[in-house]
Amino acid sequence: MSPIDPLYQSIPLYRALNRPLLLMGGERHLSLILLIVCGIFIFSLPHLWSALLGVFLWITGQILIAEAARYDPLLSRVTIRHLRFQKAYLAQTNPFAKHINWL
Protein backbone atom coordinates (compact mmCIF):
# COMPACT_ATOMS: atom_id res chain seq x y z
CA MET A 1 0.00 0.00 0.00
CA SER A 2 1.11 3.48 -0.72
CA PRO A 3 1.27 6.02 2.14
CA ILE A 4 -1.83 7.82 0.80
CA ASP A 5 -4.47 5.38 -0.40
CA PRO A 6 -6.71 6.92 -3.11
CA LEU A 7 -9.64 4.91 -1.81
CA TYR A 8 -9.77 7.00 1.38
CA GLN A 9 -9.23 10.38 -0.27
CA SER A 10 -12.79 10.94 -1.46
CA ILE A 11 -16.05 10.75 0.40
CA PRO A 12 -19.30 10.66 -1.59
CA LEU A 13 -21.61 13.53 -0.74
CA TYR A 14 -25.16 13.03 -1.98
CA ARG A 15 -26.83 16.00 -3.65
CA ALA A 16 -30.15 15.36 -1.92
CA LEU A 17 -28.55 15.99 1.47
CA ASN A 18 -27.24 19.39 0.41
CA ARG A 19 -30.10 20.85 -1.64
CA PRO A 20 -32.97 22.96 -0.28
CA LEU A 21 -36.48 21.50 -0.28
CA LEU A 22 -38.34 23.01 -3.21
CA LEU A 23 -41.90 22.33 -4.36
CA MET A 24 -42.79 23.39 -7.92
CA GLY A 25 -39.72 25.61 -7.99
CA GLY A 26 -40.49 27.49 -4.76
CA GLU A 27 -39.73 26.96 -1.10
CA ARG A 28 -41.77 24.06 0.21
CA HIS A 29 -43.43 25.73 3.19
CA LEU A 30 -44.28 28.89 1.24
CA SER A 31 -45.81 26.85 -1.59
CA LEU A 32 -47.89 24.79 0.82
CA ILE A 33 -49.16 27.86 2.69
CA LEU A 34 -50.07 29.46 -0.65
CA LEU A 35 -51.87 26.29 -1.72
CA ILE A 36 -53.88 26.17 1.53
CA VAL A 37 -54.92 29.83 1.29
CA CYS A 38 -55.91 29.50 -2.36
CA GLY A 39 -57.75 26.25 -1.59
CA ILE A 40 -59.80 28.14 0.98
CA PHE A 41 -60.75 30.66 -1.71
CA ILE A 42 -61.59 27.94 -4.23
CA PHE A 43 -63.48 25.40 -2.13
CA SER A 44 -64.99 27.22 0.84
CA LEU A 45 -66.66 30.14 -0.90
CA PRO A 46 -69.49 29.02 -3.23
CA HIS A 47 -69.04 31.80 -5.80
CA LEU A 48 -67.43 31.70 -9.21
CA TRP A 49 -65.45 34.87 -8.55
CA SER A 50 -63.82 33.31 -5.47
CA ALA A 51 -62.73 30.26 -7.47
CA LEU A 52 -61.27 32.47 -10.18
CA LEU A 53 -59.58 34.63 -7.55
CA GLY A 54 -58.10 31.53 -5.89
CA VAL A 55 -56.73 30.17 -9.16
CA PHE A 56 -55.33 33.59 -10.11
CA LEU A 57 -53.66 34.02 -6.70
CA TRP A 58 -52.22 30.51 -6.85
CA ILE A 59 -50.72 30.94 -10.32
CA THR A 60 -49.25 34.39 -9.71
CA GLY A 61 -48.11 33.54 -6.18
CA GLN A 62 -46.38 30.37 -7.32
CA ILE A 63 -44.61 32.23 -10.12
CA LEU A 64 -43.38 34.86 -7.64
CA ILE A 65 -42.28 32.23 -5.10
CA ALA A 66 -40.42 30.30 -7.82
CA GLU A 67 -38.66 33.46 -8.99
CA ALA A 68 -37.65 34.28 -5.42
CA ALA A 69 -36.36 30.73 -4.96
CA ARG A 70 -34.35 31.03 -8.16
CA TYR A 71 -32.68 34.10 -6.67
CA ASP A 72 -32.07 32.46 -3.27
CA PRO A 73 -33.62 29.10 -2.24
CA LEU A 74 -33.53 30.09 1.45
CA LEU A 75 -34.76 33.66 1.00
CA SER A 76 -37.60 33.47 3.53
CA ARG A 77 -35.37 32.09 6.30
CA VAL A 78 -32.72 34.72 5.60
CA THR A 79 -35.37 37.46 5.66
CA ILE A 80 -36.83 36.27 8.97
CA ARG A 81 -33.35 36.12 10.51
CA HIS A 82 -32.59 39.60 9.17
CA LEU A 83 -35.76 41.03 10.71
CA ARG A 84 -34.85 39.60 14.13
CA PHE A 85 -31.66 41.63 14.31
CA GLN A 86 -31.74 45.10 15.80
CA LYS A 87 -30.90 48.18 13.80
CA ALA A 88 -27.92 48.98 16.01
CA TYR A 89 -26.27 47.40 19.02
CA LEU A 90 -24.98 49.59 21.82
CA ALA A 91 -21.26 49.57 22.54
CA GLN A 92 -21.86 49.30 26.28
CA THR A 93 -23.96 46.89 28.24
CA ASN A 94 -27.18 47.49 30.07
CA PRO A 95 -26.71 48.55 33.74
CA PHE A 96 -29.11 45.77 34.72
CA ALA A 97 -27.22 43.04 32.89
CA LYS A 98 -26.06 40.03 34.87
CA HIS A 99 -22.37 40.13 35.77
CA ILE A 100 -20.55 36.93 34.92
CA ASN A 101 -17.26 36.08 36.65
CA TRP A 102 -15.10 34.23 34.19
CA LEU A 103 -12.34 33.43 36.64
- Output the CA torsion sign for 72, 75, 77, 81: positive
Residues with Cβ < 8 Å from 66, sequence gap 6 or more?
Answer: 24, 25, 26
Q: Decide: pTM greater than 0.75.
A: no
**Residue 37 and residue 55 in contact, taking contact as beta carbons nearer than 8 Å:** no
Per-residue pLDDT tens digits of the chain, which is 103 residues long:
556 666 666 777 787 778 888 999 999 999 999 999 999 999 998 899 999 999 999 999 999 999 999 998 888 888 898 888 877 766 666 677 676 666 5
